[in-house]
Chains A and B, each alone.
Chain A
């Protein structure tokens, strides 16, 4: 494995990557054309921003449903379709069917693709049977099936051109991410943080599906594609340990004191193995270290760097994996041709709360600086200099975040509050946010016009009790039980505009339930997003004031998109309640006695949705 990865990395360095620059140009042109929606978040920078402005603040109240398409599949419909040259490509929850709809002929089905997947893979999907959408490039539609197969389909005919197995479900791994085409490669991830999978990110050549490179989230530097020059400008990110144990650290009553930058010892190597201290629950903790990579990947062509986050370390019981557990919970910048890491910053060292770090990284510019902003599950909104990873801003997205008092900008280390440290067989109470995070996978949008981010939010807290659990390949390996309840606002969600330079929200709307749909913002300063109580909404980007809403068939966990067809602007969103939000809500339904503070709130979701939620694409126009 080691040598193969190295050879492949070397081959890439030597210039295998020049083959399909033409194809990349085609996709890059499509990304620039606002009539299309050719990439999961529209562009490489993950903005979810469109310059289309036919729908404006003056006429948005006249939006009407133009057409809808029932997917024939139930449960959570995350992600969004692609729109390329008058064809819409719609994906579904498991079994991950794909439909190509002809926008020139009343959305008639041009082709469809029905994967044959072993139904048992559904048992591996921790948080509903979701799939976050498709990728496009080189005339191919890419589908990352739940069962680990990455499939390339001819965009015109739907014929399968090649497929490749990305992860092995026998180990408990699966896939839920959208494949992202970057240049001549298709990038895809790995899910399985709750199964002790040692996850990785993979780049395949779009021509033939051959593996270009693969970078693990934990383990030896050689397998993580970490080499010389990594964290060159911020060597303190590569410290062996950023905390000192208080009262014994990993046991009831223990906690972790943040070291200041001058106390840190750096730079160190091989941290992907050496920050998994002994004794571990298993021999070499990093071998089952998690670090799933199921988010949205962004790319800066001028730096040739791609950005993504790694998720939680396995297992959720922190006491059995002493150490910082690198490089889980990390934002990585990697050279997209070679996979080599340029920089990596761990947001939640030695995670005690399942604050998966896989949320999207949005690339933007301000004051002549190349920036990257990330809204983490742990409740902090981060802005980096994306050229080298220097941390510029790290502020709480909402004051209810209590596991840490702040992030020390000099050291980059979060200052943990000992009150909310979690330990085996001790039920820690009142931790905010819950494991769902202040924000989960539902992507934010960025408008270069207003300079603001538009961020869908959860407002949920939890109790968290780590327990002893046993690693068995292919079986769940969770190691904690938790209950969730509404945060101090008395609601479970919100939606805000965020200033990425100041690290402050410009406006904040409460939402009754978690806002689990991804945001779209247009140059006419309208923000679109959907809610779990079935509303698809348009709000004013400057003020957050609601401008329009329409109630669809089931709760929305999909991302809003816009495109135009024959000169007319359309906005659309998938409906079909589910995802962790839908599943977690279901958890509270019959359990008022369980002391779930939000039992009332969760329960009310059934008053808004039939279960399981039916999937549909909903499209609107003036």
Chain B
């Protein structure tokens, strides 16, 4: 249901201009990530787009949902049950292949648009380019990040 609404929005929305808040760039080539502004349709997503901060950090409900999404999309296959790393990198320590992943905006960009190192884009409309019904919404990405941050091992 949710997803159908996004397709409709995709058709009419212009790419988010970014002048009202942060500008998102691809981890692959540093070019702007064209995400329709209308996809930022929850208070948390709107807040993120204006401040670059993830309001879900520490939010128990969001963390729980984030865990479900992390499993649903088989992120666990490469990154392990908690993001501790398996065939893909550990996401719970302080070593990052892309330094910007340490901050809220950077890790959002990496999940949304993917990397040149083997991780595919997970954002709605870019995960499966010819099927915009697939992929995570901005709000879902923020929840996944909240889940990962809750598993971070302190150093």
Contact = CB atoms under 8 A, between A and B. Distances in A.
B74 A468 contact: no
Interface in A459-494: 465, 467-470, 472-483
Contact of A475 (B71, B82, B93, B127): B127
Interface string B58-102: 000000000010011111111011101111001001000000000
Nearest to A481: B81
Nearest to A124: B118
A263 interface: no
A262 interface: no
Contacts of A478: 74, 76-77
Interface string A572-615: 00000000000110110011011000000000000000000000
B120 A481 contact: no
Contacts of B127: 472, 475
B118 A122 contact: yes
* Range of interface residues on A (Cβ < 8 Å): 20 to 34
Contact of A481 (B71, B118, B119, B134): B71
A126 B118 CA distance: 12
Contacts of B90: 590
Contact of A465 (B78, B81, B134): B81
B84 A591 contact: yes
Contact of B72 (A470, A583, A584, A591): A470
Interface string A113-140: 0000001101101111000000000000
Contacts of A477: 74
A356 interface: no
A250 B68 CA distance: 20
Nearest to A590: B93
B120 A126 contact: no
A477 B119 CA distance: 15
A587 B80 contact: yes
Q: How large is the interface on B (under 10, 10 to 19, 20 to 34, 35 or more residues)?
A: 20 to 34
A594 B77 contact: no
B71 A587 contact: no
Nearest to B73: A470
A584 B86 contact: yes
Nearest to A468: B72
B68 A468 contact: yes
Given A123-B119, A468-B71, A593-B153, A587 B84 contact: yes
B17 interface: no
Given A123-B118, A194-B77, A590 B153 contact: yes
Contacts of B134: 472
B85 to A, nearest CB: 6
Nearest to A583: B87
A334 to B, nearest CB: 31
28 contacts: A123-B119, A123-B120, A126-B87, A194-B74, A467-B71, A467-B72, A467-B76, A470-B73, A472-B73, A472-B127, A472-B128, A475-B74, A475-B127, A475-B128, A481-B71, A481-B76, A481-B80, A481-B81, A482-B81, A483-B81, A583-B86, A583-B87, A584-B86, A586-B85, A590-B84, A590-B90, A590-B153, A594-B84
